[in-house]
């Protein structure tokens, strides 16, 4: 499978297109929809780059995969499905995330708790066939309960389970996040062959380094600043929790969650025809 990476500078997010030239089939992982919070305007610039890439190569999109319910950007899954087809899939543990957040947003009218807004709910070790390739789903919770990684040939797409070795891992302080569980998921990944390539869901480069998104599993084991193989579970939990202590709320948390829980749909329009994003006043303080 060939891999094309797209980096959204506004949200530091990586979107991947995996495609097989022989069959012309493709998979999109973690697409981004632009959203300007102050104006409420969306923009499809990042998503349209993916559409152009797919159309230029006459690819047939089989799957639009979400590694998890993102809290820092809106997904373009719904928009891409409309323009390119394909099935939207996310981990089956989405039901846990829905059960937590849907009552909070009071959005059950257009956000089903059973996850049926997604075409397929994915289970650990499930396989997806794309042309002549098989993608294996690995459930890698910890950052969120729903997080999945996608393993194909010599590459794994880990979402936020690991970041580049000099960045570490994603935070574990969201509801349902758990540092110990993240450590266990990383150990699961570390069982894979050392030379597989690890593609991350974000990159936040330290000052002076350019954006990067791929490392080998060996590099992760040897030098991940938070999760290398010589760091114990106890140490990892301690370091991760220290880092999470004063992390700010992601700028797009409230818009992103409610839209991403609907697979990228903005929900039912009101009588005036507009769709709304709701901001619960002092809501986060009550969690
Ligand atoms: Fe995330």
pLDDT score of 287? 87
Beta bridge partners of 16: 5, 29
Please name the helix (run of DSSP H) or strand (run of DSSP E) that holds residue 61, with its range, or none.
strand 60-65
Q: What is the pLDDT of residues 18-62, one digit of tens each?
A: 999 999 999 999 999 999 999 999 999 999 999 999 999 999 999
pLDDT score of 214? 98
Angle among Cα 19, 224, 201 to the nearest 5 degrees reads: 35
Report the separation in Å between the CA atom of 170 and the middle of ligand 1, taken as the mean of its atom positions.
7
CB 81 within 8 A of CB 106: no
Give 107's pLDDT tier (boundaries 50, 70, 90). very high
Report the separation in Å between the CA atom of 160 and the middle of ligand 1, taken as the mean of its atom positions.
5
Report the separation in Å between the CA atom of 205 and the middle of ligand 1, taken as the mean of its atom positions.
16
Report the separation in Å between the CA atom of 132 and the middle of ligand 1, taken as the mean of its atom positions.
30
pLDDT score of 105? 97
What's the rounded Cα separation, in Å, for the pair 171 and 257? 16
HEC per residue, 229-260: CCCCHHHHHHHHHHHHCCCCCCCCHHHHHHHH
Report the separation in Å between the CA atom of 72 and the middle of ligand 1, taken as the mean of its atom positions.
7
Domains and CATH numbers, the chain: 2-268 (3.60.15.10)
Q: Report the Cα–Cα distance between both ends of the chain, in Å, rounded.
A: 43
**φ, ψ at 234 (rounded to 5°):** -65, -45
The HSE-up count of residue 220 (CA atoms within 13 Å, CB side) is 29
Cα–Cα distance list, 65 to 27, 57, 137, 181, 254 (Å) = 7, 20, 10, 22, 21
CB 191 within 8 A of CB 246: no
Burial label, 82 (beta-carbon count in 10 A; 0-12, 13-18, 19+): exposed
Give 102's pLDDT tier (boundaries 50, 70, 90). very high
Report the separation in Å between the CA atom of 230 and the middle of ligand 1, taken as the mean of its atom positions.
25
Closest-CA residue to 65 (of 135, 166, 113): 135
CB 199 within 8 A of CB 124: no
Query: Mean pLDDT throughout 277-287?
Result: 94
Q: What is the pLDDT of residues 222-237, one digit of tens each?
A: 999 999 999 999 999 9
pLDDT score of 181? 98
What's the rounded Cα separation, in Å, for the pair 137 and 41? 34
Give 96's pLDDT tier (boundaries 50, 70, 90). very high
Report the separation in Å between the CA atom of 149 and the middle of ligand 1, taken as the mean of its atom positions.
12
Query: Mean pLDDT throughout 151-159?
Result: 97
pLDDT score of 7? 98
Query: Whole-prediction pTM value?
Result: 0.97
Estimate the crossing angle of helix 77-84 against helix 45-56, to 10 degrees: 30
Report the separation in Å between the CA atom of 73 and the middle of ligand 1, taken as the mean of its atom positions.
9
Report the separation in Å between the CA atom of 84 and the middle of ligand 1, taken as the mean of its atom positions.
25
What's the rounded Cα separation, in Å, for the pair 228 and 221? 4
State yes or no: pLDDT of 215 exceeds 90: yes
Report the separation in Å between the CA atom of 217 and the middle of ligand 1, taken as the mean of its atom positions.
20
Q: In whole numbers, what is the pLDDT of the chain averaged over residues?
A: 97
Report the separation in Å between the CA atom of 250 and the middle of ligand 1, taken as the mean of its atom positions.
10
Report the separation in Å between the CA atom of 153 and the middle of ligand 1, taken as the mean of its atom positions.
24
Report the separation in Å between the CA atom of 50 and the middle of ligand 1, taken as the mean of its atom positions.
20
CB 84 within 8 A of CB 241: no
Q: What is the pLDDT of residues 249-279, one digit of tens each?
A: 999 999 999 999 999 999 999 999 999 999 9
Report the separation in Å between the CA atom of 143 and the middle of ligand 1, taken as the mean of its atom positions.
7
**Residues at Cβ < 5 Å from ligand 1 ion:** 160
Closest-CA residue to 262 (of 140, 93, 67, 101): 101
Query: Mean pLDDT throughout 135-164?
Result: 98
Report the separation in Å between the CA atom of 261 and the middle of ligand 1, taken as the mean of its atom positions.
13
CB 237 within 8 A of CB 180: yes
């Amino acid at each position: 499978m060939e891999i094309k990476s797209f980096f959204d500078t506004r949200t530091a997010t990586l979107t991947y297109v995996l495609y097989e030239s022989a069959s012309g089939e493709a998979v999109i992982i973690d697409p981004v929809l632009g959203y300007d919070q102050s104006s409420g305007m969306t923009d499809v610039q990042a998503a349209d780059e993916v559409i152009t890439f797919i159309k230029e190569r006459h690819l047939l999109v089989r799957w639009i995969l979400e590694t998890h319910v993102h809290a820092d950007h809106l997904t373009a899954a719904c928009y891409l499905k409309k323009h390119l087809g394909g099935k939207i899939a996310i981990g089956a543990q989405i039901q846990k995330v829905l059960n937590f957040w849907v009552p909070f947003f009071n959005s059950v009218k257009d956000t089903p708790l059973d996850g049926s807004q997604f075409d397929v709910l994915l289970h650990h070790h499930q396989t997806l066939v794309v042309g002549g390739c098989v993608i294996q789903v690995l459930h890698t919770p910890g950052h969120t309960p729903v997080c999945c990684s996608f393993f194909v040939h010599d590459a794994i797409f880990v979402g936020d389970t690991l970041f580049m070795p000099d960045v570490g891992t994603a935070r574990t302080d969201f509801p349902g996040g758990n540092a110990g569980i993240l450590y266990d998921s990383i150990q699961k990944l570390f069982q894979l062959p050392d030379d597989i390539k690890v593609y991350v869901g974000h990159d936040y480069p330290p000052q002076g380094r350019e954006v990067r998104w791929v490392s080998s599993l060996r590099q992760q084991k040897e030098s991940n600043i938070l999760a290398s193989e010589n760091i114990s579970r106890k140490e990892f939990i301690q370091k991760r929790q220290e880092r999470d202590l004063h992390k700010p709320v992601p700028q797009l948390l409230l818009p992103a969650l409610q839209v991403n829980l609907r697979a990228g749909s903005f929900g039912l329009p009101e009588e005036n025809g507009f769709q709304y994003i709701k901001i619960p006043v002092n809501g986060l303080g009550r969690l």
